[in-house]
Amino acid sequence: MGTRVKNLNNQNYFELKKECLKNKKLFEDPEFPPSDESLYYHTLPMQNVEWKRPGELCEDPHLFVDGISHHDLHQGKLGNCWFVAACSCLALREALWKKVIPNWKTQEWNAKKPHKYVGMFHFQFWYLGEWIDVIIDDRLPCKDGSLIYCHSNAKNEFWTALLEKAYAKLAGSYEALDGGSTADAIVDFTGAVAESLDLTKGHCRANMIEKTRLFEGLYEVHSSGGLISCHIKPSTVGDIETVTPMGLVKGHAYSITAVKKVSIGEKTLFFGKKNKLFMIRLRNPWGNREWRGAWSDESEEWKKVNKSEKSSLALSVRDDGEFWMTFEDWCTNFTNVVVCRMINTSWINLHRTWEKQEVRGSWTKNQELLLNRSGGCYNNKATFFQNPQYVFEVCREEDELLIALQQKDQRIHKKEGKGDNFIVGFEIFKVELNRQFRIHKLQGQERVASSQYMNLRSVFLRKVLKKGRYIIIPTIFQPGISSDFILRLFSYESSNLRELLLDKPIVTCWSILCGYPQRVTQVLVHSLEGMKTDGSSAGADIYVIIKCGREKVKSTIYKSTNSVVFDIQAIFYYKNTKEPIKIQVWGNKIICDQFLGQVLVVASPSDPKELSLQLHGKDGRETEKMPGRINLKVVSSNDLVEL
């Protein structure tokens, strides 16, 4: 999760607290004062709002009363159910909330030492790869002696209201939290990787195999410490917060508090319990309005479950907003789910360990085309490759990758009439094995994956890629927009993710003396056919080497074959334009590899050449034909930023 912590607005909690203790005064935050500007940016101010400290609202205030629970939270007069749902998820994971509420015991009220209380709290949020420490005073907006916004069940418990205030300060105002994504809040709380799934677009509602696969995925995420939320997408704006006949609220975020396989029926002598039912438990941030269908709190179905099973499920027959559903009913009624994974990068853990690579970048406008870094999505053919480009390697024969792109939070700009997320996404291309410079035109490179383009803060893709070198290009959908982002890549082995900054080889003292490259050539070896080696019908273990001057690129070894589909690419920048490029075929042997033939290509600038060439010998035997043909494509240019 990282250890670096930065102070918002350069406010240092310990220094400010020390100053308040010295001056014997309660902290008053000048960066987020008790004013209408801290509450609103557009809505007409609420009348008779008072800012009160917890000690003015009750006699015995505490951060936590009887510990922390996902039942503590109740949404106030603000459309931030998404935030409250995320807090409910957070409360389920002690290791996570202790990061958000650091050293909570030292922040708790101490009745024995009231003089140590200075009315100051601090919370930490994950922001583009760094933890931000946010300080607030304890003055909370109230009306008629009660909190206006998020509050707890217990009148003297204030962690929910104080956390909400810190998050509002980070966003610029309380109103900036009106409408949002549960995924955003969970990522801000944890640094998790968020994936948004549309249940209406898959086959999980109708296909039992897909439904089971989805349940097992959610079960694994929840069991390994991940956080999940869901909602029902309203069909119209007027449909928001309408209640379905079964008691569910549309356009409203629910936190998922449990994913279980519940045993139904009695034990038998040989087969244990009769049946396992896939179940899911949810909580409405309102603290009421529950599911009224099968397996609701007082439904007949619970009679099929014995007392010990009910106890382990913590079944509560109260209108507290929490309820159980079968997974099938959940899939039928809900339309969207947000899955936030805590990716394991610790070698101490017994589960699979992922290698994490991350880079921070920016989309920036520039009139100079080679310096512009805001080219828009792939539809913008003329400018797309002006976006930032990041190269990485897949070192195994194939590897599963998790890729997350997160854009900068825009809510702070809502006061300026902006503040909406940009539509973002990314493309992945398989490129030449030795590419070190930016792509300028799609010429042979394979587009192997594309994320969805969404107006969410985080976009996620899970993809299995084969061994090779790849480039990720993150984009805003529209060209010419400036913003910051973080790109994270998780893989089984280190991918060496880094940005490609240069468009072509740089001019050095050595290149001035010995000559600067005059040509760029791309070679794509498609396939090899008709080989004969050692009279073996099984074929040889074959690989290809592409040489240009002193530089060479070697393919992987293809086992036991006389015909190979390679699709191996290499790109060269060189000064001696008369020297041919060599493509050699070799057989892999235990002691000494066997030369099986080569072709020579003089790459002159012209239209792309599709070639099928007979293999020949080498070292004075270039005219001697050898069995087999190699099929390739060659593209050259004297403009080094053409390819």
Nearest to 517 by CA among 583, 436, 454, 442: 436
Q: What is the mean pLDDT of residues 272-285?
A: 81
- Please say if the pLDDT value at position 63 is more than 90: yes
Between 352 and 641, the more confident residue is 641
Highest mean pLDDT among 300-304, 413-417, 512-516, 638-642: 638-642
Per the CB < 8 A criterion, the answer to whether 63 and 109 are in contact is: yes
Band the pLDDT of 1: cuts 50, 70, 90: very low
Per the CB < 8 A criterion, the answer to whether 354 and 491 are in contact is: yes
Nearest to 485 by CA among 549, 404, 415: 404
- Tell me the CA distances in angstroms from 201 to 204, 213, 340, one per residue in order: 9, 15, 20
Percent with pLDDT over 70 in the chain: 94
> Looking at residue 347, what is its pLDDT?
59
Count other Cβ atoms within 10 Å, centred on residue 116.
11
Q: pLDDT tens across 205-245, in order?
A: 878 889 999 999 999 999 988 999 999 999 888 888 899 99
CA separation for the pair 511, 544 (Å, rounded): 29
CA separation for the pair 439, 449 (Å, rounded): 16
Burial code (b: 16+ CB inside 10 Å, e: under 16) for 243-258 equals eeeeebbbbbbbbbbb
Strands 130-137 and 5-7: parallel
Catalytic residues: 81, 252, 284
- Please say if the pLDDT value at position 348 is more than 60: no
CA separation for the pair 628, 545 (Å, rounded): 16
Q: Identify the CATH number of the domain defined by range 355-499.
A: 2.60.120.380
Residues 6+ apart with CB under 8 A from 81: 75, 252, 253, 285, 286
Residues, the chain: 643
- Tell me the CA distances in angstroms from 27 to 116, 138, 343, one per residue in order: 12, 8, 38
Q: Identify the CATH number of the domain defined by range 518-637.
A: 2.60.40.150
- Rounded to the nearest angstrom, the gap between the alpha carbon of residue 528 and the centroid of all alpha carbons in its chain is 40
What DSSP string runs through 130-149?
EEEEEEEES-EEEETTEESS
Q: Identify the CATH number of the domain defined by range 194-341.
A: 3.90.70.10
Per the CB < 8 A criterion, the answer to whether 471 and 427 are in contact is: no
- Collapsing DSSP to helix, strand or coil, 365 comes out as coil
Q: What is the mean pLDDT of residues 612-621?
A: 90
pTM: 0.89
> For the ranges 259-273, 341-355, 563-577, which has the lowest average pLDDT?
259-273
Strand order in the sheet with 140-143: 50-52, 140-143, 146-147
Tokens 């690579």 — which residue? 357
Residues 6+ apart with CB under 8 A from 601: 523, 580, 581, 583, 611, 613, 632, 634
> Looking at residue 539, what is its pLDDT?
64
- Please say if the pLDDT value at position 256 is more than 60: yes
Q: pLDDT tens across 140-179, in order?
A: 999 999 999 999 989 999 999 999 999 999 999 999 999 8
**Residue 625: is it exposed, middle or buried by C-beta count within 10 angstroms (0-12/13-18/19+)?**
exposed
Between 348 and 136, the more confident residue is 136
Q: What is the mean pLDDT of residues 41-53?
A: 90
Report residue 220: phi and psi, to 5°: -65, -45
Per the CB < 8 A criterion, the answer to whether 174 and 149 are in contact is: yes
Crossing angle for the helix pair 159-171 and 182-190, nearest 10 degrees?
A: 100
- Rounded to the nearest angstrom, the gap between the alpha carbon of residue 200 and the centroid of all alpha carbons in its chain is 22
> Looking at residue 100, what is its pLDDT?
96
**What residue type is assigned to position 583 of the chain?**
I
- Collapsing DSSP to helix, strand or coil, 83 comes out as helix
Residue ranges of domains in the chain: 5-191, 194-341, 355-499, 518-637
